[in-house]
């Protein structure tokens, strides 16, 4: 079944605990950490992740859009994140970092900006629990989905099948009721949605609707025929 991860970047930051509860049927809560260096925006860090992990039972999916990921990512596992995503472009030693995240007890994930190809990372995929393909330039919520990323999603799904990996394939950026089916058809199975969930009148219903759309599209997708 498709996993839907609402992004709290689009939530009310003054009411984070309530906003987390508003999407309790979600699989993970997506937490965007930005440092104003890797991306031109500043959001939150370790203390808020720590507080949020105590305030909700939904596991936290921390997406680190920060420089020097090697130094900072392990702190997010200690803060309570169940999954930690670092950017390939910001990690000096991605294999060592993924192993450290796993050793500390979280799922290890790596993200690729739109201009970063998947091919150089083919041999690293067994070290990861999830690969995140950005479908916007990272930094802000509410941007338009980049259709030009669909071939990369397809190629990544092919690599996952070729190597028989248990790797989740996440998409993030512009995912909504009008774009989620294209992502699922291309091979994504974990979907981050910020504005499409928190911009809806009923965020919990938006999560259910998105999951239903993704599930139908996945069932019809060639890559999922053996699932
Ligand atoms: C953008 C963030 C996303 C953002 C998605 O850099 O990584 O997680 O919250 O927001 P929407 O779904 O509104 O594009
Ligand atoms: Zn994100």
Is the model's pLDDT at 227 over the cut of 90? no
pLDDT, tens digit, 9 for 90 and up, residues 40-54: 999 999 999 999 999
28 C-alpha to ligand 1 centroid (Å)? 14
For ligand 2, the distance from its centroid to the CA atom of residue 161, given in whole angstroms, is: 25
Q: Is residue 143 classed as helix, strand or coil in its secondary structure?
A: coil
3-class DSSP assignment, residue 6: strand
Please tell me the distance from the alpha carbon of residue 23 to that of residue 123, in angstroms, as a whole number: 36
Q: Residue with the nearest Cα to atom 10 of ligand 1?
A: 141
pLDDT tens for residues 57-113?
999 999 999 999 999 999 999 999 999 999 999 999 999 999 999 999 999 999 999
Alpha-carbon dihedral sign for residues 206, 10, 44, 93? positive
CA-closest candidate to residue 159, choices 192, 193, 112: 112
Q: Report the distance separating Cα 56 and Cα 21, nearest Å.
A: 7
Burial of 146 (0-12, 13-18, 19+ CB in 10 A): middle
And the tokens for 39?
Answer: 């991306």
The predicted-structure confidence for 170-226, as pLDDT tens digits, reads as follows 999 999 999 999 999 999 999 999 999 999 999 999 999 999 999 999 999 999 875
129 is catalytic: no
**Which SS3 state, helix, strand or coil, does residue 31 take?**
strand
Distance between CA 97 and CA 88 in Å, rounded?
11
Question: What phi-psi label fits residue 174: left (phi over 0), alpha (psi between -120 and 50 degrees) or beta?
Answer: left
Question: Domains of the chain (ranges plus CATH)?
Answer: 3-225 (3.20.20.70)
């Amino acid at each position: 079944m498709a996993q839907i991860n609402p992004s709290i970047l689009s939530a009310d930051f003054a009411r984070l605990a309530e906003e987390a509860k508003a999407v309790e049927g979600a699989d993970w809560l997506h937490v965007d950490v930005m440092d104003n260096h890797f991306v031109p925006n500043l959001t939150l860090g370790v203390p808020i992740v720590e507080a949020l992990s105590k305030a909700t039972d939904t596991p936290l999916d921390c997406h680190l859009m920060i420089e020097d990921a090697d130094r900072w990512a392990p702190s997010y596992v200690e803060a309570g994140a169940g999954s930690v995503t670092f950017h390939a472009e910001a990690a000096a030693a991605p294999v060592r970092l993924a192993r450290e995240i796993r050793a500390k007890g979280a799922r290890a994930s790596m993200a690729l900006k739109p201009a970063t190809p998947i091919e150089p990372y083919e041999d690293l995929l067994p070290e990861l629990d999830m690969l995140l393909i950005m479908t916007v330039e990272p930094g802000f919520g509410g941007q338009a989905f980049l259709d030009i990323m669909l071939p990369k999603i397809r190629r990544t799904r092919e690599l996952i099948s070729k190597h028989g990996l248990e790797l989740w394939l996440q998409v993030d950026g512009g995912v909504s009721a009008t774009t989620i089916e294209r992502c699922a058809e291309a091979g994504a199975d974990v979907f981050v949605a910020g504005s499409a969930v928190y911009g809806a009148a009923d965020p919990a219903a938006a999560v259910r609707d998105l999951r239903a759309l993704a599930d139908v599209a996945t069932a019809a997708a060639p890559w999922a025929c053996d699932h």
